[in-house]
Amino acid sequence: MTNSFWRQIGLAILVIALLLTPPALPQQAVFAGIAGTPATQKLIALTFDDGPRRSTTTRLLDGLAERGVHATFFLVGSRLPYQEDVVLRMEREGHQLGIHTYDHVLLTGLKQADFDAQVETSRSKLTAIVGHDSFLLRPPFGKWDEGVRIRAGCPIVLWSIDPEDWKDQDVERIVAQGVTQARDGGILLLHDIFDSSVDAALRIVDILHAQGYYFCTIEQLFAARGITLQPGEVYWNAYP
């Protein structure tokens, strides 16, 4: 389908959402926290890969803070130097952190030493910044094998909603696909290294928030569904 088609769909979705739903309050004004969220509440875990990138990630954090929304960031280890303050801000503002390897490489088929160079090195650098090692793992490209499961040392988190924001950086298309793919218990994948993804992410949040969705971290999503995340297990969603 053409970009023009998706732009028209995206505009139509936005107009309908705005016309049929009263303006959404910031999320924190509606929900005091995940612990008190009703069982019937629609939940989506908002996740971002490949950062941090100071310009785009900071703008995204500003937008999420305005909306009272928490997300999970899967960080690339080689991007951490000189951006420690951005990571500390994520931690301070209630976002969850994860590992996305050191150089954004495939983890499948790696020997232990090569796996450690990608995952354990990133884990050590993140631990040095935030003071703990409670991180999730998202393998680049969503590729994993038994070796990844055995060596992960933490839960492995993939996704169920993917508007492929990296493909053409078309905000209207990304918004349209993100909204139409939304489902209670889903995990939304975006990337905080593109300006277009930041714009799309905040618009998706506004539209789906108006439709009654609560955005949360991976930890919050699975806790709300009574699921304990286990090291080495792979998770795509927490559908009811």
Would you call 49 a catalytic residue per the annotation? Answer: yes
Compute the residue count for the chain: 240
* pLDDT higher than threshold 50 for residue 31: no
Burial class (CB in 10 A: 0-12, 13-18, 19+), 34: middle
Determine whether domain 37-235 maps to CATH 3.40.718.10.
no
Given a cut of 70, whether residue 21 has pLDDT beyond it is: no
Residue 40's pLDDT band (cuts 50, 70, 90): confident
Q: Is the pLDDT of residue 7 over 70?
A: no
* Catalytic status, residue 195: no
Considering the chain, what is the average pLDDT of its residues?
90
Pick the catalytic residue from 49, 170, 199, 206: 49
How many other β-carbons are positioned within 10 Å of the β-carbon of residue 112? 11
Strand (E) or helix (H) holding 112: helix 112-118
List the domain boundaries for the chain: 37-235
When pLDDT is cut at 50, 70 and 90, the band that residue 4 belongs to is low
pLDDT in tens, 135-190: 999 999 999 999 999 999 999 999 999 999 999 999 999 999 999 999 999 999 99
Tell me which of 165, 191, 192, 199 is the catalytic residue.
Answer: 191
How does strand 213-216 pair with strand 42-49?
A: parallel
How far is residue 55 CA from its own chain's centroid? 18
Sign of CA dihedral 27, 29, 35, 36: negative
